[in-house]
Structure 1
Amino acid sequence: MRAALYFTPSADSDLTLAAADWLGRNPFNGEEIRSPSSAADDLVAAPRRYGFHGTLKAPFALAEGYDLAGLEREVQAFCAEHRGFRVPELALGRLGSFFALVPAMPCAALTEFAANVVRHFEPFRAPLTEKDLERRRKSALSPRQDALMCEWGYPYVFEEFRFHMTLTGSVPADQLDEVEVVLKSRFAAFIGKPLEVDALAVFSEPEPGAPFQVQSRPLLIPAEIEETHA
């Protein structure tokens, strides 16, 4: 079994429901919105399995002496000491050959929060196996990314971190423009709008290749409300 620490909106949020409808699966309850059989579903097979989320600490096997219940308790304690915040604006990003919802501009609070999550929960992560390293290195990592992977289990942390909530797998080049138009329409209600980061979710993969599911989603301390004066 593997665990992951992600941000995902609440189970009843409009964004969660829109993403579940697009991907064809809801990770909160495991509901299959549609059977993964159409050609269009090939575009969402990978994000469908992982569930709609933004990665903070990528999937990891639990270190010896740790279990999922202990991880959940520590996430609860962590959230009780950290304040939520707002990403000012979401955009639809084309990241190479796939699409995701991304911050429209750099968000220092998000970058700092992700780094804190990576560091704080590192004791829970088992070391990568040689097979894990070999698989990751097929992505042509830079020397810095390779070093981060060896130390932290994932190459895209700290200065390499790019928050994204994945909407597709790799899209063929001749379909990119068409898929972008569809996504801009499907997620129009969220593009250009803020994203409230109000929780840290524990996802789990019960067995290799199984769909990831939400185990718990403890809330952060409510974000400070900016007061305006006339």
Structure 2
Amino acid sequence: MTPWRVALYWAPEEDDPLHALGSAWLGRDAASGAALAQPELPGLDIAELTGDPRGYGLHATLKPPFRLAAGYAAARDATAALAARLAPFDLPPLAVFDLDGFLALRETAPCPALHAFADACVEALDAHRAPPTEAEIARRRPERLSETQRAHLARWGYPYVFEEWRFHVTLSRRLSAAEKAVVMPAVTDALGDAPALPRRVAAISLFVQPAPGAPFTIAERLPLRG
């Protein structure tokens, strides 16, 4: 069955402690699709706070979710061809940050290779992206975007690409100051030392969404062979 949408993401390998700990924080393993028990949060509903990122799985976006223009097999082959020409590289240590009110794992040092990786994913798969509908464009609230972001939305179907892109592994919805005071130390404790461990970016994770509103799962990890 052809998935409704696909996306190119970075996701920690399944033997990386961050995969298990981050998936447990979100309440779902995107590799297996299994629901997971989440930590307790005093006075807060962790399932509600993590509901949106849980549906997408533990990941950082490279090529945002898109509907297919030419079928899944063609997009998968294009992703494999891209991965074959890209070289693995080291990811800087990660840490929990407040990203515009959301909590997310971000890199703690500049990484030009990471930005080049995301740029390549956006460009190489764009021929396989069906144009967004008017409703999909409207959901991006173009009236609130900068001129550059609106141009990216029109050309690439997403406003936060290239110079507007920021690596981030989303861990919560947008939080109030009071919520952040509880959630920030809780997620930092739950993830422990795992975010800061040395790791290589060695694959593109191809995520699929079988139907509108369904959770994303990892269909395949395509190794970087350049």
Fold equivalence (TM over 0.5) = yes
**Partner amino acid, structure 2, of 1:62:** L
Q: CA deviation at 1:80?
A: 1.5
Q: Is the 8 A contact 1:137 1:146 kept in 2?
A: no
Contact conserved, 2:9 with 2:206, CA < 8 A, in 1? yes
Deviation at 1:191, TM superposition (A): 3.8
Q: Which runs of 5+ in 2 are unaligned?
A: 39-43
Tell me the number of residue pairs that the alignment of Structure 1 and Structure 2 aligns.
218
SS of match in other structure, 1:218: strand
The Cα shift of 1:204 comes to: 0.8
Paired residue for 2:181? Answer: 177
2:166 is aligned, of 162, 165, 186, to 162
The equivalences for 1:82-121 within 5 A come to 82-121=86-125
Q: Does structure 1 retain, via aligned residues, the 8 Å contact 2:142–2:150?
A: no
The equivalent of 2:49 in structure 1 is: 43
- 1:119 match: secondary structure: helix
Which digits, 9 at most, give the CA deviation of each residue in 1:117-143, with x for residues without a partner?
A: 111111000111110111101682111
1:197 counterpart residue number:
201
Matched-pair contact (CA < 8 Å) for 2:203–2:224: yes
Of 61, 65, 90, which aligns to 1:59?
65
Q: Distance in 2 between matches of 1:11 and 1:140?
A: 38
Judge which range, 89-98 or 116-125, deviates more. 89-98
Tell me the equivalent position of 2:17. Answer: 14
Which blocks of at least 5 consecutive residues in structure 1 are unaligned? Answer: 223-230
Alignment deviations for residues 125-183 of structure 1 (CA, whole Å, 9 cap, x no partner): 01111101111016821111111111011111110010001111122221112211111
Matching residue's letter, 1:11: E
Provide the C-alpha distance between the structure 2 equivalents of 1:79 and 1:150, rounded to a whole number of angstroms: 26
SS at match of 1:80: helix
Q: Counterparts of 2:137 and 2:188 in 1: how far apart (Å)?
A: 36
Write the letter of the residue equivalent to 1:128. Answer: P
How many angstroms apart in 1 are the aligned matches of 2:151 and 2:13? 34
Alignment correspondent of 2:84: 80
Deviations 1:93-135, CA, capped at 9 Å, x for gaps? 1012111110112210001111111111110001111101111
Equivalent position SS for 2:130: coil
SS in 2 for 1:93: strand
Normalising by structure 2, we get a TM-score of 0.91
Structure 2 counterpart of 1:129, one-letter code: T
CA distance in 2, matches of 1:22, 1:40: 8
Task: Describe the superposition over 1:39-82 as per-residue Cα deviations: whole angstroms up to 9, x where unpaired.
Answer: 2211100010000000000000111xx11122112212221111
- Of 29, 33, 43 in structure 1, the residue corresponding to residue 32 of structure 2 is 29
